[in-house]
């Protein structure tokens, strides 16, 4: 970090010299123009040339990974989330069917990447989607709608003793994951690229709040999956109408907290967010009552029933975390 003095020239201009190393690294010559963009947080963004775009490439040595398909898939997702535009899989020998299938699975799982070239020893994956085309708020809205539907579907499976609905709920989690990966990718690009920040109309702090909201919604979706998976075991034993009613009641309370959190976030309503945080105590108390009832009746599937009620409670708790983030973001932006 360098400190440079501001100088005054003429009648109205302030000037500051630029670091020589930076100027040379950007290829800036005498009489070239630079673009200066002020941000709301008081910083200035300095760009050497309009329209200059960096395409970052990440090469992955397949030989060092071996036959570990899970690791390869996780590395591909990590490279995607970290904002790389091109991902190149390379090997000193012929690429195996496992690697090729993993690359196809990755391209189908994430938003934007496509396999654009391959030969015996190389596979090139390129991101074809401009991240500016999908604003954070629209992605978050879609995540919320999917996650809410997943929770409702899981509880519907319990009420109707419907294993097929439970299985379909589990499959829906893939769509929420890919949206969360996309938000994570956008956030990482935002941290690295000030030009992207300007195009999105967001500061890095604002991007961080979107990422945190996305992460919590993804967690809530995970708990909808846990409810659906546990329900498959509970259905084998059967569950009384009274217990179904108790679970459904707490589920509705959790979904109401989730909905209020999302509304507080989208409407920037600090009072609704605050009120919503206080509402979690009712849900926690109701869930504790059900857990005691489960133990009293000694169900064979008590463990799975407890998992269901725990995930209902966690849904409400993660939702109140969303409300806390809403308050933090509003205070950070001076309401």
- At 191-207, the pLDDT tens digits run 887 778 778 888 889 99
Asked, for residue 188, whether it belongs to a domain, the answer is: yes
**Residues 230 and 263 both lie in one domain:** yes
**Residues 170 and 214 both lie in one domain:** yes
Q: How confident is the model at residue 333 (pLDDT cuts 50, 70, 90)?
A: confident
Q: How confident is the model at residue 29 (pLDDT cuts 50, 70, 90)?
A: confident
Tell me what pLDDT residue 46 has. Answer: 73
| Higher per-residue confidence, 333 vs 126 | 126
- Residues of the chain with pLDDT > 70, as a percent, come to 94
Q: How confident is the model at residue 54 (pLDDT cuts 50, 70, 90)?
A: low
Asked, for residue 17, whether it belongs to a domain, the answer is: yes
Tell me what pLDDT residue 40 has. Answer: 62
Asked, for residue 195, whether it belongs to a domain, the answer is: yes
Given a cut of 50, whether residue 329 has pLDDT beyond it is yes
Among 50-54, 250-254, 283-287, 327-331, the least confident range: 50-54
Tell me what pLDDT residue 151 has. Answer: 98
Domain that holds residue 18: 7-47
Given a cut of 80, whether residue 250 has pLDDT beyond it is yes
d(CA 48, CA 63): 39
Asked, for residue 226, whether it belongs to a domain, the answer is: yes
- At 277-327, the pLDDT tens digits run 999 999 999 999 999 988 887 777 889 999 999 999 999 999 999 999 999
Given a cut of 90, whether residue 32 has pLDDT beyond it is no
**Number of domains observed in the structure of the chain:** 3
Asked, for residue 2, whether it belongs to a domain, the answer is: no
- Residues of the chain with pLDDT > 90, as a percent, come to 69
**Residues 96 and 155 both lie in one domain:** no
């Amino acid at each position: 970090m360098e400190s440079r003095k501001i100088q005054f020239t003429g009648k109205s201009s302030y000037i500051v010299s630029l670091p020589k190393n930076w100027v040379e690294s950007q290829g800036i010559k005498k009489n070239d123009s630079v673009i200066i963009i002020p941000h709301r947080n008081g910083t200035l963004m300095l760009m050497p040339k309009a329209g200059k775009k960096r395409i970052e490439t990440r090469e992955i040595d397949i030989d060092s990974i071996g036959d570990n398909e899970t690791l390869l898939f996780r590395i591909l997702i990590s490279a995607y989330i970290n904002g790389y535009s091109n991902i190149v899989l390379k090997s000193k020998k012929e690429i195996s069917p496992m690697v090729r299938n993993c690359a196809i699975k990755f391209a189908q799982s994430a938003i934007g990447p496509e396999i654009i070239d391959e030969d015996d020893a190389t596979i090139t994956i390129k991101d074809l989607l401009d991240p500016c085309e999908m604003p954070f708020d629209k992605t978050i809205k879609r995540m919320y709608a999917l996650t809410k539907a997943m929770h409702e579907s899981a509880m519907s499976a319990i009420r109707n003793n419907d294993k097929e609905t439970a299985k379909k709920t589990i499959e829906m989690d893939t769509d929420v994951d890919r949206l969360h990966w996309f938000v994570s990718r956008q956030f990482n690009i935002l941290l690295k690229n000030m030009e992207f920040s300007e195009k999105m109309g967001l500061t890095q702090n604002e991007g961080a709040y979107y990422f945190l909201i996305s992460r919590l919604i993804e967690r809530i979706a995970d708990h909808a999956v846990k409810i659906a998976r546990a329900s498959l075991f509970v259905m084998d034993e059967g569950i009384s109408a009274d217990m179904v009613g108790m679970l459904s009641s707490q589920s509705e309370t959790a979904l109401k907290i989730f909905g209020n959190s999302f509304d507080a976030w989208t409407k920037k309503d600090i009072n609704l967010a605050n009120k919503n945080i206080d509402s979690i105590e009712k849900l926690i108390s109701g869930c504790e009552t059900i857990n005691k009832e489960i133990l009293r009746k000694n169900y064979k599937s008590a463990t799975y029933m407890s998992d269901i009620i725990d995930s209902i409670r966690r849904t409400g708790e993660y939702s109140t975390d969303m409300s806390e983030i809403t308050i933090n973001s509003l205070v950070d932006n001076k309401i």
